[in-house]
Structure 1
Amino acid sequence: MKRFDQINMIPFIDVMLVLLAIVLTTASFISQGMIPVDLPKAEHSEQAKGDEKVLEIAINAQNQLFFEGMPITAEALASKLDAHPNTTPVLLRVDKVAAFEHFIDVVDVLKAKQFAEVSIQTEHPQ
């Protein structure tokens, strides 16, 4: 019987490269800026239409405000919205346990900046 003096590392490297590709691919799907928001359910919700650029504003369960996935204050939100035309669609994602006051603060900023195309994301009950 022939004795093995060395280990062939090429199959091991091939397997590791495939696993690395899988991990990087799934990590990009996971980290696409999704802020954990438990959306309220609505019986008569509609599916979003179009592929145009949508500004996303989210409020999580801890009443933290996010603009395009980044934490922000209500005052800073107003200045960020100045960089976009008021015809840009806005999507509000608000956690169902978030304080209503924070939702009203965001809507007030949107009204002050005259954004008319505002949608509120909800979940359809199963």
Structure 2
Amino acid sequence: MAKYKKEPKRFDQINVIPFIDIMLVLLVMVLTTATFIKQGVIPVELPEAKASKKEELKKEINVYVNSKGEMFLDKEKLDASQLKKRLSQISKDQTVVLRSDKESRFQDFVTVMDILKSLNHEQLYIITKE
């Protein structure tokens, strides 16, 4: 009797079911761990910074500059002179948080910074995305 060799099994197709299972598990993990945080009331697209550090902020004043160059103090729309007048009424130790849209003109950002510097505000945070 002659011994017959078995032919090797051919791989004509790939079983994708385990791959789909793994991808679904990863998708579920991402969706369950994702947090959705509302940044603020005024819609601004924040620029990115690599060397940023999150800190706990207490009693903060929010200054927004949107993509059109409009300035807001908390929710109130102001021009540069009104903003300076309102910021002069707050304490120098008060934390000021600046959220400037990445599409806004750099001059608008510099205007707000100049106002804060002229009023000797040193508690300033510039918010960016990581």
Shift of 1:59: 0.3
Among residues 83, 86, 97, which one is paired with 1:80 in the alignment? 86
**Aligned twin of 1:46:** 53
What is the rounded CA distance, in whole Å, between the counterparts of 1:53 and 1:66 in structure 2? Answer: 17
Q: CA separation of 1:33/1:120 partners in 2, compared to 1, >3 Å: closer, same or farther?
A: closer
Query: Could you tell me whether the CA contact under 8 Å between 1:33 and 1:69 is conserved in 2?
Result: no
What is the rounded CA distance, in whole Å, between the counterparts of 1:46 and 1:35 in structure 2? Answer: 23
Alignment TM-score, normalising by the size of structure 2: 0.67
Among residues 87, 103, 107, which one is paired with 1:101 in the alignment? 107
Are 1:89 and 2:90 counterparts?
no
Shift of 1:33: 5.8
Show structure 1 runs of 5+ residues with no match. 1-29
Alignment TM-score, normalising by the size of structure 1: 0.69
**Aligned twin of 1:62:** 68
What is the rounded CA distance, in whole Å, between the counterparts of 1:82 and 1:63 in structure 2? Answer: 21
Query: How many residues matched?
Result: 94
Q: Give the letter aligned to residue 45 of structure 1.
A: S
Shift of 1:70: 1.1
Stretches of 4+ moved more than 6 A in 1? none
What is the rounded CA distance, in whole Å, between the counterparts of 1:93 and 1:48 in structure 2? Answer: 15
What is the rounded CA distance, in whole Å, between the counterparts of 2:56 and 2:96 in structure 1? Answer: 13
Q: Give the letter aligned to residue 126 of structure 2.
A: I
**Aligned twin of 1:36:** 43
Q: Give the letter aligned to residue 64 of structure 2.
A: A
Give matches, 1:3-22, under 5 Å. none
Per-residue Cα deviation, 1:20-79 (whole angstroms, up to 9, x for no partner): xxxxxxxxxx8x9610000001112111214x2111001001111000111001100111
Please state whether the residue corresponding to 1:109 is helix, strand or coil.
helix
Identity of aligned residues (%): 30
